């Protein structure tokens, strides 16, 4: 898959997101201002994700190293 280091300015990328985020919710103005909304579904996003997981199961998540637990001195 792509990593942030693989992304290039000026290229177009396809993303899937909720309508809330696509409309700029939570400060995601880059989607609102530059998004080309090609497929908008009337179905609740949770149901769409559930159907996808049913089709692609089982899912075996790998360790990505994005969460690091450290001891806090205190």
Asked, for residue 12, whether it belongs to a domain, the answer is yes
From residue 57, give the alpha-carbon distance in Å to each of 14, 19, 61, 68: 23, 25, 11, 27
- Residue of 26, 22, 54, 57 whose CA lies nearest to 36: 22
The answer, as to whether pTM is greater than 0.85, is no
Is 10 a domain residue? yes
Which pLDDT tens digits describe the chain residue by residue (74 residues)? 667 678 788 888 877 788 888 888 888 888 777 667 777 777 787 888 889 889 988 888 778 777 778 888 76
What is the C-alpha to C-alpha distance for residues 28 and 51, in angstroms, rounded to an integer?
26
- Whether 72 is in a domain gets the answer no
Backbone angles phi, psi at 28, to 5 degrees: -85, 60
- Is 13 within a domain? yes
Does residue 50 sit within a domain?
yes
Domain containing 12 equals 4-56
Q: Is residue 61 part of a domain?
A: no
Is 40 a member of any domain? yes
Secondary structure of residue 42 in the 3-state scheme: coil
Residue 28 covered by a domain: yes
- Quote the radius of gyration of the chain (alpha carbons, Å): 17
Total number of domains constituting the chain = 1
């Amino acid at each position: 898959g792509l990593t942030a280091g693989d992304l290039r300015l000026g290229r177009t990328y396809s993303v899937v997101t909720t309508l809330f985020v696509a409309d700029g919710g939570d400060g995601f103005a880059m989607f609102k201002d530059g998004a080309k909304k090609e497929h908008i579904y009337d179905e609740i996003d949770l149901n769409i994700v559930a159907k996808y997981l049913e089709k692609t199961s089982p899912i075996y998540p790998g360790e990505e190293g994005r969460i690091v637990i450290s001891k806090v001195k205190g």
